[in-house]
Copies of this chain bind each other. A is one copy, B any other.
């Protein structure tokens, strides 16, 4: 192969191109709307390096395979879920991000292209076949993660928070019918307690015009019965490509 030499990386010249394997790592969030917990899908590694550590579900890209195909392939082995839509997040590719890059190992760098999705918990079934461990981990009880997965996860968390502010991603995890209190609770679960007070949140969302009151009332514990709403995708359609913020 032109440009490829048998020198060890440790005595490389500055102009020698790096050789890479390319991985994909998926940051898959869900929300436990009953217990108000933000969850992330983690798998336990059953290989070195980081044997026994929790990690984002990922894989290395195979010959002839696109990045997206690799990301969907590894997820299809971990969860069964309808309408999974992965969005590319960020590419992490600095030297020394993977211990397999140590000069006395294989001399190849590992780059990670990360992907992001938010799935409805009730629709996602974990597949535990042939893995050491798989879990929906609460974001506030994370274990130490393998590689730089903590950094990738935090990047995904920022994307999730941003998306709640300007896209209807919340309705992908809420049940079809929900109260405005349920919606507020979901935002609070992801964004924290003080992101907005309830009455501002309520009036802002209703003004945007894509929440349809079904006329059905439900009682949730104490307090007056609350109206059930649904997300009106038709009413949202003309807003889709407009800049707007929800909160």
Chain A residues in contact with chain B, CB under 8 A?
1-2, 9, 12, 14-22, 60-68, 88, 90-91, 93-95, 106-108, 111, 113, 162, 165-166, 243-247
Nearest CB in chain B: distance from A167 CB, A: 11
Asked if residues A94 and B66 are in contact (CB atoms below 8 Å), the reply is yes
Asked if residues A91 and B65 are in contact (CB atoms below 8 Å), the reply is no
Asked if residues A111 and B18 are in contact (CB atoms below 8 Å), the reply is no
How many copies of the chain does the oligomer comprise?
A: 2
Quick one: which of B18, B63, B243 contacts A63, CB cutoff 8 A? B18
Asked if residues B108 and A91 are in contact (CB atoms below 8 Å), the reply is no
Asked if residues B93 and A1 are in contact (CB atoms below 8 Å), the reply is no
Report chain B residues within 8 Å CB of A94.
66-68
Asked if residues A60 and B111 are in contact (CB atoms below 8 Å), the reply is no
Report chain B residues within 8 Å CB of A246.
243
User: Whose C-beta in chain B lies nearest to the C-beta of A113?
Assistant: B91
Asked if residues A63 and B9 are in contact (CB atoms below 8 Å), the reply is yes
Asked if residues B95 and A66 are in contact (CB atoms below 8 Å), the reply is yes
Report chain B residues within 8 Å CB of A20.
19-22, 61, 111
